[in-house]
């Protein structure tokens, strides 16, 4: 199994979710996060005063999928999230050794 973590623009969340749902993904966890990468934040003007925004609002999606569908999921996320501009985000893929559903005690793919 693979754990896929995506950090991307908040307005892309619905498009990514729809794309994942269309390929059969049933669950994910989403968090609102802040951070910066190469863009190093940005400058905004409020009431005539300019100020630096160091941490840019992003969303973080986490999902665990079977090895066989991981590549398809990654391609779907990338297609939905990509704008071609700085700040599109990152996809992190890690191997998951075990998953246990607390309610039933199911393990492995059955628990996903």
Average pLDDT for runs of 10 along the chain of length 112: 96 96 94 82 71 83 94 96 90 96 91 86
Range of the domain at 14: 1-109
35-58 confidence digits (pLDDT tens): 877 766 666 677 777 777 778 889
Main-chain phi, psi angles of 18, to 5 degrees: -60, -40
Dist. CA 14–CA 58, nearest whole Å:
13
Q: Please name the residue ranges forming H helices in the chain.
A: 13-22, 67-81
Residue-level pLDDT at 44: 67
Residue-level pLDDT at 59: 97
CA dist list (Å): 42 to 9, 36, 52, 97: 14, 9, 6, 39
Reading the block at residue 67, the tokens are 């090895």
Q: What is the CATH number of the domain that holds 87?
A: 3.30.70.120
Task: Give yes or no for a contact between 55 and 75, defined as CB atoms under 8 angstroms apart.
Answer: no
Residue-level pLDDT at 103: 94
Q: How many domains does the chain have?
A: 1
pTM (2 d.p.)? 0.84
Dist. CA 14–CA 37, nearest whole Å:
23
């Amino acid at each position: 199994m693979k754990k896929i973590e995506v950090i991307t623009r908040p307005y892309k969340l619905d498009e990514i979710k729809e794309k994942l749902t269309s390929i059969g993904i049933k669950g994910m966890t989403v968090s609102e996060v802040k951070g910066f990468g190469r863009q190093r934040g940005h400058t905004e003007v409020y009431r005539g005063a300019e100020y630096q925004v160091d941490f840019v609002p992003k969303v973080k999606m986490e999902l665990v999928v079977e090895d066989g569908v991981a590549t398809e999921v990654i391609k779907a996320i990338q297609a939905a999230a990509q704008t071609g501009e700085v700040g599109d985000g990152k996809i992190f893929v890690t191997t998951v050794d075990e998953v246990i559903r607390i309610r039933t005690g199911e393990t492995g793919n059955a628990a996903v």
